[in-house]
Chains A and B, each alone.
Chain A
Amino acid sequence: EVHLVESGGGLVQPGGSLRLSCAVSGFTFSRSWMGWVRQAPGKGLEWVANINQDGSEKSYVDSVKGRFTISRDNAQNSLYLQMHNLRAEDTAVYYCASLRRGPWHFDFWGRGTLVIVSS
């Protein structure tokens, strides 16, 4: 059975940093693209970042470029999102998801971790 479990969310002040983690089991993590998608309170889904199987290819939505870094540890079956210089508008539930290419789709999702940026 596939499991994706996010952790690391919490309350952080504007300008602060946070590192999210996603522990994966139930499929071959090292062969999968992965991504982060967020959802602000009461709002829709917004893609944040993608990473390929070996971490050599990364993409980000414009609003987080230069502040967020996606990474992975295939030995630990884990995905990460390092977030710096956080803003109030980054407040959201952050979901990790496995990304299938050709044709693309996020097939499995975690339950999410809540990040609140507030003073």
Chain B
Amino acid sequence: QSVVTQPPSASGTPGQRVTISCSGSSSNIGIQTVNWYQQLPGMAPKLLIYNNDQRPSGVPDRFSGSKSGTSASLAISGLLSEDEAEYYCAVWDMSLNGPVFGGGTNLAVL
């Protein structure tokens, strides 16, 4: 059980907008930036969002991130079947000097 909590599953239909939440505390998300990773089935994780809301080059603008207080969110608009994947949030833990990952959210495109 991670100190950063995500819903285990989410779903949407093609074209819809879905949001995945990431809940932490004042000692992690409250004071550190949040990243989001996408892991397609059988593949390595891929950086989707860093520094709460920044997209690396090549990531479509359908993906957006936000943070407020001790929670963060990943929004995916114009949902595509290829977005079916596991999504992880992550936040730096200063006491570990390393990151903590959320448990992951399995996104199904119905």
B60 at interface (Cβ–Cβ under 8 A)?
Answer: no
Selecting from B21-29, B44-52, B77-85, the interface stretch reads B44-52
Closest residue on chain B to residue A105 by CB atoms: B50
> A27 contacts which chain B residues (CB < 8 A)?
none
A104 partner, pick from B33, B44, B88, B103, beta carbons under 8 A: B33
Provide the bound-state CA to CA distance between A110 and B45, in Å: 9
Interface residues of A (CB under 8 A from B): 35, 37, 44-47, 49-50, 59-62, 95, 100, 103-112
Query: How many A-B contacts are there with CB distance less than 8 Å?
Result: 65
Provide the bound-state CA to CA distance between A61 and B86, in Å: 23
> B90 contacts which chain A residues (CB < 8 A)?
45, 106
A44 partner, pick from B2, B44, B97, beta carbons under 8 A: B2
B100 partner, pick from A47, A95, A112, beta carbons under 8 A: A47
A59 touches B47 (CB 8 A): no
Chain B nearest CB from A72 CB (Å) reads 16
Interface size on B, residues (CB 8 A): 26
Interface residues of B (CB under 8 A from A): 2, 33, 35, 37, 39, 43-47, 50-51, 56, 86, 88, 90, 92, 96-104
Chain B nearest CB from A105 CB (Å) reads 4
Chain B nearest CB from A104 CB (Å) reads 5
Chain A nearest CB from B104 CB (Å) reads 4
A44 touches B101 (CB 8 A): yes
> A44 contacts which chain B residues (CB < 8 A)?
2, 86, 88, 101-104
Closest residue on chain A to residue B92 by CB atoms: A104
Chain B nearest CB from A70 CB (Å) reads 11
Provide the bound-state CA to CA distance between A97 and B95, in Å: 21
Provide the bound-state CA to CA distance between A62 and B45, in Å: 23
